[in-house]
Structure 1
């Protein structure tokens, strides 16, 4: 059988695959960086090494070193994609960045770690919303009910699994399976979560992540909260939507019709929207220093919690997905009080 060459579109297919190589967040950041270079600095593209050097030197006083490093990456990406040589790949630019780091580098701001006490306080607040919203069957209360269920599942998933915000919004129902899992050498009930790609997966090989069921702490169990959320959201969306779209775990709420109401959809949340999500929850739950929290607080809180349960650092690194001890230590807060052993919370199977 002869191949219909006319129907083949290798160039468009290749372009699509190349686009998938970069995350949506990276593309958005790079686009913003290039816009800043062209509009705020009024720089020309393609750029020379001298132009890039002047740009970096000018903003060294006002922008973070990490931001300038990302601007270099964005400029490099633009030039290579458009077939030009990389103006940032030179000894002069590297020496300039070294000088900027020496003079202006500041310690990175760290989010407050979410402790088990904070987590319990937030879940207590969300549980009260869930109970109260079921007392009155209106569209507004239905939205509050679903929103609280989603937030409860998200924060427990984010904390106990140590997921980043961009991972949480990408989770797919069909890639999460309830099963017996090997959790640090112990067979327990839980979920197996498959991620086709993640920030730490440089070669995009995909990986499986176990999430244990915490039967000894049911109010903070991520597995039961996930199942409750999936049952409620699937039922609601089976009535309101039937478009066969991919089942993201945590869909976003959008305005419906011409009114002021909002409704749950299967459209995935934007990871940027989670920047203020946890501080807002902390504020509603009555946590005073709510502004000091971010989506990183869940990951940092879990790392600190596990460390203070005397779990070996290599086990923490493996569970959360860090490659180096230095990466792990950035998240640890040795001042946080621990509680009972993590393994004692799991639902063990003989």
Structure 2
């Protein structure tokens, strides 16, 4: 790979590249389209999958086709008037309510963390190191994900070298890149230690038990208790969260990794945070992004966890 290609590749995120490759393969191989494409062929492709693929998926397919043509020096067929009109018609005839993850309510956060702590204590008694490691890891991941409003990719990209945790005080985390950081400038996040459900305490307990000093914070654990050198993949966070919830007696089919982010946003909203403070704390740059995550119904059994509010 040339230096030019290396920098061009770095400009596009790995997940985006994978999605674009799959989209191009679907157009060219599965559907039988030809590249470079014409506006008419792209319009026919949209018609063939209207009502079958979601609006968001169709938008991604158009973005992939546009990127391929632009990178190869061809005219972008997705900008053709016929494509725009067909897509507008699809949105009118196949409206779909956006599916949102169930927010993780505070009472369920307490329940799952209590369940994981019980698993940890049982593992200590039975000398079951793999189970102990999983309980400590999952507690840290869930609590950090909730109180920092992190996405799954942000949790999986955390590196020990970029985390400073002081027991009883707080934790500072630096992310060199994330989905919301389009300029790859990196961002530092902070959260204080809490009286209960403390992410700082959970992080320290996990790192100490796993004897980790560098590399990914959250990793896979095999049946013998060996830790992977690689970080968890973002797609593994959903099953990890659902399994932990189910073991604690919580029906988890409607929960995803976004449930942590939505849960925190809803908790903060119900706790009286103004929208500007919430957006600054989580990292949202526009109001629409924030409002999609806020659950308007009140949580049950909400209690004050800290002596003073979390500072954005």
Q: Are residues 228 and 74 of structure 1, via their aligned partners in 2, closer, same or farther at CA, if it must alter by over 3 Å?
A: same
- Cα deviation for residue 179 of structure 1 reads 6.0
* Distance in structure 2 (CA, Å) of the matches to 1:234 and 1:80: 48
Partner of 1:250: 218
Query: Are 2:238 and 1:275 equivalent residues in the alignment?
Result: yes
- Equivalent residue number for residue 331 of structure 1: 293
Tell me the residue number matched to 1:153: 140
Count of aligned pairs: 310
Structure 1 CA distance for aligned equivalents of residues 91 and 164 of structure 2: 46
SS across alignment from 1:174: helix
- What is the 5 A alignment of 1:79-118? 79-118=69-108
What TM-score comes out, normalization by structure 1 length? Answer: 0.83
Could you say what secondary structure the match of 1:232 adopts? Answer: helix
Rounded to whole Å, the distance in 2 between the matches of 1:101 and 1:50 is 18
Give the secondary structure class of the aligned counterpart of 1:333.
coil
User: Is 1:71 the equivalent of 2:58?
Assistant: no
| Alignment check: 8 A CA contact 1:212 1:347 kept | yes
Quote the residue 2:174 is aligned against: 194
Distance in 2, Cα, partners of 1:225 & 1:342: 15
In 2, distance between residues paired with 1:179 and 1:42? Answer: 57
User: C-alpha deviations, 1:87-131, integer Å up to 9, x for none?
Assistant: 112232222211111111211111111011101110111111111
Deviation string for 1:253-302 (max 9, x for gaps)?
Answer: 35xxxxx75631121111112232222221111013x1011100000000
Structure with the greater alpha carbon radius of gyration? 1
| Superposed CA offset, 1:46-100 (max 9, x none) | 2111111100111012110000000011111222223322211223222221111
Structure 2 portions without partners, runs of 5+: none
Residues 160-309 of structure 1 aligned to structure 2 (within 5 Å): 160-178=147-165, 189-214=169-194, 216-217=195-196, 220-234=197-211, 247-254=215-222, 261=224, 263-288=226-251, 290-309=252-271
CA 262–228 in structure 1, closer or farther in 2 if over 3 Å, else same = closer
Consecutive unaligned residues of structure 1, counting only runs of 5 or more, are 1-10, 181-187, 239-245, 255-259
- Residue 202 of structure 1 deviates from its aligned partner by 1.7
Provide Cα deviations, 1:145-191, integer angstroms capped at 9, x if missing partner. 111111110000000000000111011111112369xxxxxxx9211
Return 191-200 or 299-308, whichever deviates more.
Answer: 191-200
Structure 2 vs 1, CA of residues 13 and 117 (structure 1 numbering), >3 Å: closer, same or farther?
A: same
For residue 340 of structure 1, report the CA deviation from its aligned partner. 3.9
- Cα RMSD for the two superposed structures: 2.2
